[in-house]
Structure 1
């Protein structure tokens, strides 16, 4: 035991001195091991810091109070609740009856002697420098000690008078106002002085206004009520501070529950009662939907996979570095053998090198990871839109990450240690490497693994619905490609004969020294494969969501329609839109009316009717037909019959959603705004025909569209209550049926003004559709909102911005990670190649090679490694991405088939497989090129000449 200790002590001392003597090589290895440790430790500290503790969450929701009381929303009936204050249910079952009317009296649930702070929220529209803006209004005395932690003051002060407000920093940024400005609220004559800016720690992007209790929402509600308008939607909760050390106990919570009040109690959150004492959990109707256990298992599995891949890449890169270091120290190792040291001592020295550098990397990586978290914390908080808690350092977790670095250093040094120990003393002292044949078994094993993994992934994606088979097969195939890498590197070398001098030398050097080239290529391969797999999956998913997006209008078009009134404001509405937005073309819309003039929308006044489309019996979907007892006809059909009808045009056609009938009054300009290029439709409108975009509305035999003119809405409602057909005359209009391929958005049909007059109907202005030259900006929208406020009409304003895909931070991070790993791996391989081939470079200089050859050779060495890794990684990464998409396609088709069997209606699933060409182009072109240029720039063009060493 004592000899073992002294042997390792000497080995560590020799390894430490050797590492210090070869600083460049040691720094390369240390950097490769420390870089992932920096990332993992930074991610650990960031995750722990961003995850708020229970106490920190309580501070943000209830400040320094002991509890927050609010109406549970069940009409004041007794309830059961969970300790978290969110999950609730009434004590009595109300399945067959409605909840009682009214609200719970929250104030009665406040314990005697407790101090109370009201927290009221609502919405309002305020004036800005650019127009009008919807904001949340919060009436809370923010200076009260109980509110500490809920809001954070950024500048100025909180309001102290009823005519003062504070606003969030985001509101100042959007509105163009500043501290000291006067804030005007719509529908109110009074103004408020902005005294300061604050932020909500949990929502940095909130547009919110803070006022004293009763200073803004209550007078605004009174003003709105006087004008006959809807209120601000006030919602009041109570912050409660209970005297005594116990706080708001669980018994107090249950007492408040008897009054229909739910409670978020700090005491119950910090020290929740046992589940056996929570009546909600004991109720037979309660279902716990918590799936955190499965989520934690999936997260741990994903974390283990990421850590395993990171260790594999570090070992692949650091292993050749230790091998080169062992070769550079072969004379020293030979002297150890010549002085009586055996193979065990040589292995200990090389392993000690891994231990020393791994320990140094652990310390450096952990310290830099924590520092990186502190430095990037403000940027991460702004990006996430919320503030983190206090810096949360978990010593055991950080120690485990540091131990991972040490373990990785040891693992990377195992193969070089065994190789160095097998060399003879004579070979070590003379510097001869000997002749070593390439391994012929490893490529065969790799090829078998690739074929087997691809077969498993294909089986999992085409035959079964198991994601695990796809992932497992893809991982096996990727490992097979790693095993094939040395042989593939040799194949790459066959193209060197057609290359110029520098790339030919670089490629031949990479092939000749596969021991350091193949691991670097494999590391790049692993990083790029993961990126390509995720990119394939996410780009395909985005294409699916883009295809499933249902636009209300063509991209950039604006819909401005009146939702109330008789249409007298339509002209002013159209002018406001044309004045404030970049409008190109306008199409006026009207709605069909019946009865006396001046009837408002949906009015039940005497003599005010409406128009409805009469669908021919032959065009009705058989799945929706019911008998006299109300039974659906689909209940008596076989799955095959339902499946057939599920693809019938009578059942799949989508009706228009504008107005009650889906018909609007318009002309050919509406076709242009909707980008419908159909000369026959334009001609039909000129001839006074209705243009139908909904096939079931038109009788295919007569070519006419029938509408019922209902003279009185009140009588029609009475007929509907008695399950009778509404009264009214049916009029048949000549119609043109547009092709089913035409996209009409929400318009079911266009009725020309001539057809309205001929049918004896009347029309009222509804609004207009507008096409634009460019999407309206935020300032233009605010200006339009201000003009609409002045108009005073109820308007449905919609701007079609088209499909907007979510920015994937995961894909961005993986792409950057792959780029860094690729450049780092190629750079390290280049540095090792230069260290290993220094004698060859000196020979080139001695025979008269120009200085630029050294620089270009270094750049091509780095670029060759990067290019080989990126090419192989791109091919390997496509397999899991495509496999997962094919598995999802099978699942979607299975769900769709089951739905058709049951008579359900939906569009056929679209699950495309899209190749991420942009990501592949960036990886295949930019990364190798960047790695080559970087290596060429940092390499010295001249090296020192040295005389030949004596043999």
Structure 2
């Protein structure tokens, strides 16, 4: 024990004496600790507890009643899933809510809807809340940013984004589209779960919301907490409610009282597990050059200890003590600074990345304790090889400053190749089985194999030195001869770039799942739909009359004047005999129906079979706005509406002229004919068989029919509106301008823009990618800087023989470029391979999930990330080496 205490004192003294080297070592070990401390604290802070989520969703209420049916229902304890056993929805009024709750309960309404306002650019529809958020029951659902809450029906408060769109702030006014009603803005609020939301908040019963767009829920304060048994009793009476105590402590799944769970029955392929393994390995590898590249500089000092009678064990302990002292100090500094950075950057993250306010500031103690132990252990592990080497060095040669050339030992290269192959095989096996643990282990093993191969790769690269200028040739020779110092630095850059690449490809592929989705839309993203509103505004209400014929050309002119529209396609809709709107739908033959529908909770094998059965595709065409699922068009407009090749367009046009129909569902056509089911407000539904052609999987309506086909169906048609072909996606201002112009046209119009599929937000993955990028740049600079410090003796020798400062600077720059460039290249290959395994595993997990709520992830390479890894990272390291290489060096002699 005393020997270790002496070694620790020597390590502490050496750290103080070599402040520059110690600072670099602390930075190299502490940087990933700081970065991942920041991520861990950010994750723990923004990952809301059950109590925090409940406060934001139902305030301080004991229960929130959300829906009412005229028959029993089943609901999820914490989610929105419901299963209706019999009957349908009925209004949930205040009297109904009171009748459902125990005597003595107090309720307040939470009403949501959509209505129109004047905006800066014209007019637009915004989300409306009616809520007295000053009531204790609603505390936590909204946060007052400035001003005060509305005191009467003439006052409103806005969210920040709503204020920007409406051009109003505290003290200003907002008005309805006609300008006949104004409200004073008395405050700004934020929704803690949606900071970028556009909301206008009124007092209860004060908002101008149409009856068919008003949705009321009720917060209740009950005499006693509502247990799961109480919620089940409400379900039997047709009510859906979310209890505070149930949401905080949900019961286990019970098929008798809950709907079947959605999604995969098996274990999901967790991307987070993969990242955890990659990050742990990164911390370990980043610590390696911290001690390996400094071993040469301490050889003479250690040799003096040996000459004074120190044993090899003494030398090993001295070097290992370096790892303990500097590892512990780096861990402490990294954790403290990471916590400070996480605390100070919360305001930036909540709005720009997370889109929600954080919960209570938490530091994730278990994760930080693991990071500290990992950093100290990494320091010790990184010092083992230098310690072993120092204990075996020839004392006389070390005192004379002689360095033996490191020979390439083939057994290490062979071991590295075998390990690499085993890692690749394990990763591929885990991905094929959708097993994240096996995939993670395989990636770690493969990266270790690549690290073991690094010295051999360095030796091979060094053989190319004869083809380069003098400085680069010397740099390659030095890197090749001192592989014990260069290889750890290359491995550190490799690990950092690999994690950064893995994060970049995963995010890009997750986004590409939606942007590059092969699920077609009812019309291309960015196109505009303007259709006459002929739907009732509420139960037992008559629909508005169709617009006059002269209104349609005016609507087309307004669309062309305000939107980036190049062409307008007139659209018609079917009309029943009594003059009301008819609806057309295709019907499949019985043999073409999906055999797994209405079979309850399917096993994993049946889900996989359903996923592989094309008849069970759940979506024919998706829409993010427009509702033109079935359209009546002139056959000459088909080529504008649907992107078809020449042969298919000719055949489809001929089908429309002959009175046939074009359908998106290929399983609805048999023998060149399909069955069209006709339904409407008048008369009984009926079915008609027509000639049909299947549309290819491209953006198009589900059913396309011509006036000739409408006549064969025994129906008529009338104008419904237009689809506008745009040259770019309209801006919010252009949409508001068109809404304002359309409001001046006779009739009631529904204006929508086809939005592209919106990627699911993965804010924690975005934060992780940012952290990995920062670590990559920093680690590359520090690791290569430590490696360059080893070459100071060479720079001194060059100065002694008359080399110019430019030559010496070029030598340092070349050495740094070799280390950073080779590490970046290997890390990029490792990251791309790991990402391929992650995406394969994720898609294999989805292959066992039906209904298919998510599309498979494509493999998307973010070329900007690749450019940064291959060019920016080495260039930044080389630039730093060039800037910090001394132009004038003192001539030094070996003792």
Provide the TM-score with structure 1 as the length reference.
0.77
Alignment of 1:93-112 (within 5 A): 95=85, 105-108=96-99
Residue 198 of structure 1: which of 166, 189, 196 is its match?
Answer: 189
Residue 175 of structure 1: which of 137, 160, 166 is its match?
Answer: 166
Larger RCO: Structure 1 or Structure 2 (Cα < 8 Å, ≥ 6 residues apart)? 2
Q: 1:421 to 1:372 in 2, by over 3 A?
A: same
- Write out per-residue CA displacement over residues 608-664 of structure 1, whole angstroms, 9 at most, x where no aligned residue: xx9x8999xxxx8683599xxxxxxxxxxxx9xx99x9899xx99989999999562
Aligned equivalent of 1:717: 684
Aligned equivalent of 1:607: none
Alignment of 1:63-102 (within 5 A): 63=59, 65=60, 67-70=62-65, 73-75=68-70, 95=85
Q: 1:431 to 1:131 in 2, by over 3 A?
A: same
Aligned equivalent of 1:843: 797
- Write out per-residue CA displacement over residues 313-349 of structure 1, whole angstroms, 9 at most, x where no aligned residue: 233222314xx2x433334333333444323322222
Residue 861 of structure 1: which of 815, 822, 837 is its match?
Answer: 815
Q: 1:290 to 1:341 in 2, by over 3 A?
A: farther
Is 2:750 the counterpart of 1:778?
A: no
Contact kept, 8 Å, 2:493 with 2:823, in 1: the verdict is yes
Alignment of 1:260-659 (within 5 A): 284-286=256-258, 289=261, 301-302=273-274, 305-321=277-293, 324=294, 326-382=295-351, 383-393=353-363, 397-434=367-404, 436-457=406-427, 471-533=440-502, 535=504, 545=514, 546-564=516-534, 565-568=545-548, 569-591=551-573, 599-602=579-582, 623-624=591-592
Shift, 1:522, TM fit: 1.8
Shift, 1:264, TM fit: 5.5
Q: Distance in 2 between matches of 1:388 and 1:11?
A: 45
Q: 1:367 to 1:705 in 2, by over 3 A?
A: closer
Q: Distance in 2 between matches of 1:844 and 1:708?
A: 88
Q: Distance in 2 between matches of 1:819 and 1:55?
A: 34
Contact kept, 8 Å, 1:12 with 1:356, in 2: the verdict is yes
Shift, 1:771, TM fit: 1.9
Is 2:634 the counterpart of 1:666?
A: yes
Shift, 1:395, TM fit: 5.0
Shift, 1:357, TM fit: 1.2
Q: Distance in 2 between matches of 1:496 and 1:27?
A: 32
Q: 1:177 to 1:489 in 2, by over 3 A?
A: same
Q: Alignment partner of 1:848: what SS?
A: coil
Q: Distance in 2 between matches of 1:652 and 1:209?
A: 36
Contact kept, 8 Å, 1:819 with 1:927, in 2: the verdict is no
CA RMSD of aligned residues (A): 5.0
Q: Alignment partner of 1:105: what SS?
A: helix
Alignment of 1:73-222 (within 5 A): 73-75=68-70, 95=85, 105-108=96-99, 117-185=108-176, 189-214=180-205, 216-217=206-207, 220=208
Q: Distance in 1 between matches of 2:713 and 2:258?
A: 58
Q: Distance in 2 between matches of 1:115 and 1:625?
A: 50
Q: Distance in 2 between matches of 1:338 and 1:370?
A: 46
Shift, 1:877, TM fit: 3.5
Residue 240 of structure 1: which of 196, 213, 221 is its match?
Answer: 221
Contact kept, 8 Å, 2:31 with 2:775, in 1: the verdict is no
Aligned equivalent of 2:602: none
Contact kept, 8 Å, 1:184 with 1:192, in 2: the verdict is yes
Q: Distance in 2 between matches of 1:267 and 1:697?
A: 46
Shift, 1:38, TM fit: 0.6
Q: Which moved more, 1:51-60 or 1:769-778?
A: 51-60
Q: Distance in 1 between matches of 2:307 and 2:116?
A: 89
- Write out per-residue CA displacement over residues 865-899 of structure 1, whole angstroms, 9 at most, x where no aligned residue: 11111222333344344455556777888999xx9
Q: 1:116 to 1:586 in 2, by over 3 A?
A: closer
Rg: which structure is higher? 1
Contact kept, 8 Å, 1:118 with 1:236, in 2: the verdict is yes
Q: Distance in 2 between matches of 1:830 and 1:614?
A: 66
Shift, 1:498, TM fit: 0.8
Q: Distance in 2 between matches of 1:613 and 1:109?
A: 40
Unaligned runs of 5+ in 1: 225-229, 603-609, 627-638, 900-905
Is 2:877 the counterpart of 1:931?
A: yes
Q: Distance in 2 between matches of 1:296 and 1:672?
A: 43
Q: Which moved more, 1:330-339 or 1:846-855?
A: 330-339
Unaligned runs of 5+ in 2: 535-544, 595-605
Q: Alignment partner of 2:684: what SS?
A: helix
Aligned equivalent of 1:630: none
Contact kept, 8 Å, 1:692 with 1:750, in 2: the verdict is yes
Q: 1:693 to 1:895 in 2, by over 3 A?
A: farther
Q: 1:39 to 1:530 in 2, by over 3 A?
A: closer
Contact kept, 8 Å, 1:454 with 1:474, in 2: the verdict is yes
Q: Distance in 1 between matches of 2:434 and 2:194?
A: 39
Aligned residues: 857
Q: Distance in 1 between matches of 2:643 and 2:74?
A: 56
Q: Distance in 1 between matches of 2:663 and 2:104?
A: 70
Q: Distance in 2 between matches of 1:766 and 1:812?
A: 43
Residue 745 of structure 1: which of 679, 700, 707 is its match?
Answer: 700
Contact kept, 8 Å, 1:114 with 1:241, in 2: the verdict is yes
Q: Which moved more, 1:496-505 or 1:280-289?
A: 280-289
Q: 1:108 to 1:694 in 2, by over 3 A?
A: closer
Q: Alignment partner of 1:717: what SS?
A: coil
Q: Distance in 1 between matches of 2:509 and 2:801?
A: 55
- Write out per-residue CA displacement over residues 789-839 of structure 1, whole angstroms, 9 at most, x where no aligned residue: 454744343434545656776776666556545544443344334432222
Q: Alignment partner of 1:942: what SS?
A: coil
Q: 1:439 to 1:810 in 2, by over 3 A?
A: farther
Q: 1:200 to 1:888 in 2, by over 3 A?
A: closer
Q: 1:259 to 1:44 in 2, by over 3 A?
A: same
Q: Alignment partner of 2:156: what SS?
A: strand
Q: Distance in 1 between matches of 2:155 and 2:27?
A: 56
Contact kept, 8 Å, 1:544 with 1:912, in 2: the verdict is yes
Q: Distance in 2 between matches of 1:765 and 1:352?
A: 84
Provide the TM-score with structure 2 as the length reference.
0.81
Q: Distance in 2 between matches of 1:928 and 1:682?
A: 56
Q: Distance in 1 between matches of 2:879 and 2:721?
A: 60
Q: 1:505 to 1:693 in 2, by over 3 A?
A: farther
Aligned equivalent of 2:542: none
Shift, 1:518, TM fit: 0.8
Contact kept, 8 Å, 2:71 with 2:88, in 1: the verdict is no
Q: Alignment partner of 2:151: what SS?
A: coil
